[in-house]
Amino acid sequence: MRHSVNRPPTPDVGDDEEKQPSFQEIINIKLIESGEKERLMELLRERLVECGWKDEMLTLCRAFIKKKGRNNVTLDDLIQVITPKGRASIPDSVKAELLQRIRTFLVSASL
27-45 residue pLDDT tens: 999 999 999 999 999 999 9
DSSP 38: H
Of 5-14, 23-32, 84-93, 100-109, the least confident: 5-14
Q: Check: CB of residue 53 under 8 Å from CB of residue 91.
A: yes
Listed by start position, the domains of the chain span 35-105
For the domain 35-105, what is the CATH superfamily, name and number?
A: ENY2/SUS1 (1.10.246.140)
Contacts of 87 (CB under 8 A, 6+ apart): none
* Predicted model pTM: 0.72
